[in-house]
Structure 1
């Protein structure tokens, strides 16, 4: 069998090799999931919960090892990686608790003579497709609710970061998960593998996290068999700083919202809208913080690691070069190391026009373009002039105003005076072309369930 070489994007050295599986392996994974589904669906919710809770404990037990593995295949700093492991484990704990609270309804029909019984059943075999930027959290955010609901799953991690997926699968086995309930397929031919799953009548669910362009393709395939679909797609998050904002808090939030995972996050602040009266001071404080960031390999304790690939580095470089050619100016920049990896310096851009091309799509890198504003209505129009609507951030000293601005932002999630929106207990997802459905919270469980209704004749 051919293999995929997993390389460290900081050193470009090979970390490991995994099987490069194909369509036959994809079908075999569905065979196993389909065979395991009846027994797993009948498994008592309490038992499913106990397995998930044990997986949570095992992830925390192995946090250091998992963080190192994530850093080696993804490149992110050890601090970021350890934070991701803790966050990822929380999805197992949250859905362990949700598994024993499935909910339902019982009542009398308005016309009388009938009782209505509503329950929720597992949708069936689920195909889960995850990206490279959060190789642990994107998996547990899907696997956790799928298992809690009683679904079995086939999982395709990104070819760049398969090792974390395989490690989590081993922990699930150690936690007591029966064979066939979750099968990982590692492949360099994602379209063939996922296409085979979507063409298989036994697969009843597709949950995908990735680009909007790929999401559109998968939705077209899913439409052929009307497959239940959840899509967490691209973002273009605005970061709004009002004139009355606490600038220390805004800068601290901006550092998290922009530079977590080196800006390679769908929720990353992509466009900064700072009121003109505080823009100079905000840029000075923010820029000073950016210049202090250390860039390098995770093993060296750096704050910011490399971009995931040479292609990503070329794309971010072209994006910034284009913005500068169009009139933007680099005001602050961190230093980059003399290493062979795919490093790009954390960068602050000022004098960015409201209609600049750099504001139109995800940068997916450590670059912060700043636009100034004075008219709130015009600023909000600029903020919402995008096909994306995943996340946003608002800073204002007046909480009622901050909430009003947050409600005006066309996004599924908005951080109010904080630079982080992700939480296992909250519904994660976007509007417009940023996706369909929600992950996390009770909503995440419902994505893997079908509503089942019994109309029961009832004697008068």
Structure 2
């Protein structure tokens, strides 16, 4: 790709100066914005004000046209390529800030900072949404929605941080307690919970705000400090969040950022193996999650893992080594996605089911870990469901996310387009029928794909057993509830599933039988800050969100008092 940059580029710094009071040199992440982006922002200083480096990598607009890819104007920013030494410095800075933040502030103060951070993000919704759309491709209305969704985690954990439940269930025995063989006739058992310490957060590109705030909110709220490694595909949103966090009152070192792309192996190893780091939270692919489990196990760190997809563009696979053979210990938190089932029973409200299917499947062009992949429709209602679904899908407007009226944007990469093209071709070769779409939209740009509906899809086909991460509805049919359950559970994944029915008894019966951590009944959008989010099977263990999410950043200490 040619590197054509505007003469009017803004050189931007996106974190604080050196922590002189700790004697630590700066490990500053920064970006150089193109005029194409900067001219759209009310406050370009959200991503800094003036630092340049020879070691940078490009951030690309996934919605760019073929001509823009050719002439280089698809490049919307250059971001500093940080290395192992920078990661070490960021960890040291976080460690230096830990005691002051954890022990030198009150829960009320930390709560107030989180609330202020949320307010500042909301005040800058237009700019944040623009940045997010330009680097992730999602339509502007979805980016605005993610600002609301992402700040809801800060609001939730700002409130939760000052509640007794933020202590994670600590207690003191109400009655005297004697330990056999001990000397205390009237002892007390006390259990307290404390912030775990310095945390590494590794986040994906598909939710550039929410995946950060869902982790950073509870961590910072209980007194941890964090080092964030955002996706190399969407670092600008993270840098803007850091700027607003500083303005909200986050001290130096509490929220550090390390940006890296092709050198992510050395950065990832440092973030996972450095003995100062006590907790790792990752959202990405299952193979990489297994790799991080292995790396973190060498120093017995707490770890939370999550899933978007596995692909050649998963940076930690792309730049490291084969992680397929690694296994997941059973005592660690994990949310490792995908391949969700969407079941429509014969008694379902079909209009409601279609609306839920649209919401679940086509948000972010199908690029979310909870998107429905396997549509399992009762034979008695298949014709009606497909007809009404086609009518709704035809109304979707595909285009650049910044354009008015666009309801579906591009895929994140050309590799994703190639994958979907291959999956559709294989499905048709296996006797599936493509009743809508099925092809790339190259006249718009090289990273667009048509909203697609396939019927008569074999449950044994590749597409039915893949997390497509794209706008493809793959439909098969069933006769009985037992058959539907067998199809829905026939996967190694176990994050989310959906089903539509009016039968209340079936609601409880089928929900209990599904092997998933999240179940949506007559609804296609189910994630909220107040609810626990996570999976089972190879989609993991443990939860983020809700009051349970705080526990991931706490350690329990038992104290026996001889009173």
**Alignment TM-score, normalising by the size of structure 1:** 0.97
| 2:473 equivalent among 368, 373, 376 | 368
Aligned twin of 1:388: 493
TM-superposed CA distance for 1:337, in Å, is 6.6
| 1-structure distance, mates of 2:227, 2:536 | 27
TM-superposed CA distance for 1:114, in Å, is 2.2
Aligned twin of 1:26: 87
Contact 1:154 1:183 in 2 (8 A): yes
| 2-structure distance, mates of 1:447, 1:396 | 35
| 1:44 equivalent among 99, 106, 111 | 106
Aligned twin of 1:135: 208
1:184 maps onto 2:257 in alignment: yes
TM-superposed CA distance for 1:334, in Å, is 8.6
1:305 maps onto 2:409 in alignment: yes
Contact 2:177 2:189 in 1 (8 A): no
**Unaligned segments of structure 2, at least 5 residues:** 1-53, 179-184, 307-335
1:4 maps onto 2:70 in alignment: no
Aligned twin of 2:14: none
| 2-structure distance, mates of 1:256, 1:201 | 43
Aligned twin of 1:92: 154
TM-superposed CA distance for 1:113, in Å, is 2.5
1:38-437 alignment, distance < 5 Å: 38-42=99-103, 43-101=105-163, 102-103=166-167, 104-107=170-173, 108=175, 111=178, 113-188=186-261, 189-232=263-306, 233-301=336-404, 302-333=406-437, 336=441, 338-437=443-542
Q: Deviations over 1:364-422 (max 9, x none)?
A: 00001011001211221121111110011111012331232122111100011110110
Contact 1:287 1:333 in 2 (8 A): no
RMSD of equivalent CA atoms: 1.4
Contact 2:421 2:438 in 1 (8 A): no
| 1-structure distance, mates of 2:225, 2:438 | 46
Q: Which has the larger radius of gyration?
A: 2
Three-state SS of the structure 2 residue aligned to 1:441 is coil
Q: Deviations over 1:192-220 (max 9, x none)?
A: 21111222110000000011111011111
Q: Which has the higher contact order (CA 8 A, sep 6+)?
A: 1
Count of residue pairs brought into register by the alignment: 458
Three-state SS of the structure 1 residue aligned to 2:298 is helix
**Alignment TM-score, normalising by the size of structure 2:** 0.80
| 2-structure distance, mates of 1:191, 1:123 | 25
Three-state SS of the structure 1 residue aligned to 2:397 is coil
TM-superposed CA distance for 1:16, in Å, is 0.9
Whose helix proportion is higher, 1 or 2? 1
| 1-structure distance, mates of 2:497, 2:508 | 12
Range 329-338 or range 435-444, more displaced: 329-338
Contact 2:340 2:496 in 1 (8 A): yes
| 2-structure distance, mates of 1:191, 1:209 | 16
Range 32-41 or range 373-382, more displaced: 373-382
Shift of the 194–100 alpha-carbon distance from structure 1 to 2, 3 Å rule, reads: same
Three-state SS of the structure 2 residue aligned to 1:299 is coil
| 2-structure distance, mates of 1:55, 1:400 | 44
Runs of 4+ in 1 over 6 A off after TM superposition: none
TM-superposed CA distance for 1:333, in Å, is 2.8
| 2-structure distance, mates of 1:199, 1:298 | 39
Shift of the 17–109 alpha-carbon distance from structure 1 to 2, 3 Å rule, reads: farther
| 1-structure distance, mates of 2:97, 2:541 | 28
Three-state SS of the structure 2 residue aligned to 1:230 is strand
Q: Deviations over 1:34-60 (max 9, x none)?
A: 100111111111000000000111111
Contact 2:177 2:188 in 1 (8 A): no
Three-state SS of the structure 2 residue aligned to 1:225 is coil
| 1-structure distance, mates of 2:375, 2:522 | 14
